[in-house]
């Protein structure tokens, strides 16, 4: 039987990004003192989803690795800062530029998580099954 081939970005969309989103939600609520409603609006989620992110009931798979790794956590904090900046702007003219920056940050965080998997003994890429 053939094994399903899953591209790295497919795996990331299902497994990594929810953890990054959960980490961003925690930062926005705990450090920026934003309401769960505001965070939900920024992330395109529901307030209930943000509550699940905060409590660890959703997106928890890689949150510990994100928080423990200084480089990844710094990237995620920068992404949270960009989201706040975008949220506070009145005009939407710079939205494309901000989204481009966010995309680069997400790729950096995802790549760093993959490097950690290899560093701690994973012989194959974290994204393979």
List, for residues 46-98, the tens digit of each pLDDT value.
999 999 999 988 888 888 889 998 999 999 999 999 999 888 876 666 778 88
> CA-to-CA distance for 73 and 64, rounded, in angstroms?
10
> CA-to-CA distance for 49 and 83, rounded, in angstroms?
17
> CA-to-CA distance for 55 and 47, rounded, in angstroms?
12
Tally the C-alpha atoms within 13 A of residue 101's C-alpha that lie toward its C-beta: 15
Global pTM reads 0.81
């Amino acid at each position: 039987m053939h094994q399903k081939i899953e591209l790295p970005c497919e795996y990331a969309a299902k497994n990594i990004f929810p953890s990054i989103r959960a980490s961003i939600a925690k930062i926005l609520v705990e450090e920026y003192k934003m309401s769960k409603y505001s965070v939900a609006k920024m992330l395109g989620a529901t307030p209930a989803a943000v509550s699940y992110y905060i409590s660890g009931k959703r997106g928890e798979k890689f949150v510990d690795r994100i928080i423990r790794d200084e480089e990844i956590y710094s990237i995620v904090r920068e992404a949270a800062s960009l989201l706040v900046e975008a949220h506070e702007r009145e005009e939407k003219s710079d939205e494309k530029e901000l989204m481009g920056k966010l995309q680069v940050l997400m790729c950096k965080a995802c790549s760093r998580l993959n490097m950690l998997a290899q560093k701690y003994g994973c012989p194959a890429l974290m994204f393979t099954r």
